Structure 1
């Protein structure tokens, strides 16, 4: 049975992905910084809970130890945890405004991925799915027909550009594990102010990749309709 960990899995897209993967027969661990919210979400879904703050080394190390003790391996890691951060005009933005966004969206992803590599290497057809965004795409943020071009989110967008590039670098250098990036698109959750497509639609790309098993590709970036323009 496939064992999957979803960071930030207690609400929104992470919660929907967890629900869908449980329905597909996977064993799902919900990682959440908020222990109360995470446990409640896991109990409601029939998932497992592990306290996991992607910005904290000790928390990540403890989460690895918990899953190692319970399962001994990990098949799929979904790096879903992310924040929008403070929205500021690029010309006025300070490094201090940028730092917390990168700490969660970029450094947190690196911290979690590195820590779980030993358990992933013990898994069956192991893969890492990194949640990126069209806001990190040059093509989409310059296309007037796309919603991404309507927003100026320098901190968030640039952090997601980094997520996509990190994904390609992992894929090139760790061939025994499949690494892919997925863009949920603008999805109606608390994160977007409930604007956009349904949560079910937003979850499709991650769910598809998480259920491909030995057919999982590596080094790709996609949304629910296909390849994500870069």
Structure 2
């Protein structure tokens, strides 16, 4: 008997060694000389003739033996994978947040999916736009947005003015300089709105998400501790194929 996490720990190595064995077998059967053998002897016509030693080449690769070896290599992989997949049908755990069961009897395969999705969601939430902290914001339900304090500014208009440099005399006209003066003619009242969220809201969401991520990881570890029944599938498969 073993636990699911132990099966998962060896699965990668078993898969690699099985693939290597199959690859080696495939390359071996592509080399025709290794599967060829011969034996020949020499007999002179008469006893006075030259005697030559026999020659022989042994068959190094036999297809039937290759099939047996491949079967042995894959049998372990078939058994480990079957044990894992059968266990995945039963390995479940609760997702518990703040001592409350949020999700019941979640399969380990779904926990793995959930873990990946929550990681992506964490990246998304951390990039949410936040309100400019330099402004004072309040919620405006009518606009369904955040509203900054009103800012009042003036509107001016240039009005020409005359500046007398020298009064008129009986000999010379007055010397007058024309200039423009900015006169306040009105007031602008600007109110900024934003669809962003306060930084505290982002921090709140990230805090909740972190709790959920931790809970999913704990649940996955618990589910992976499920005691599995060893499955012997490979022997049946290759017993049929090679029998």
Q: Tell me which interval the TM-score lies in, with the shorter structure as reference length.
A: under 0.3
TM-score by length of 1: 0.22
TM-score by length of 2: 0.21
More strand by share: 2
More helix by share: 1
Of structures 1 and 2, the larger Rg is shown by: 2
Which structure is richer in relative contact order (CA contacts within 8 A, separation 6 or more)?
A: 2
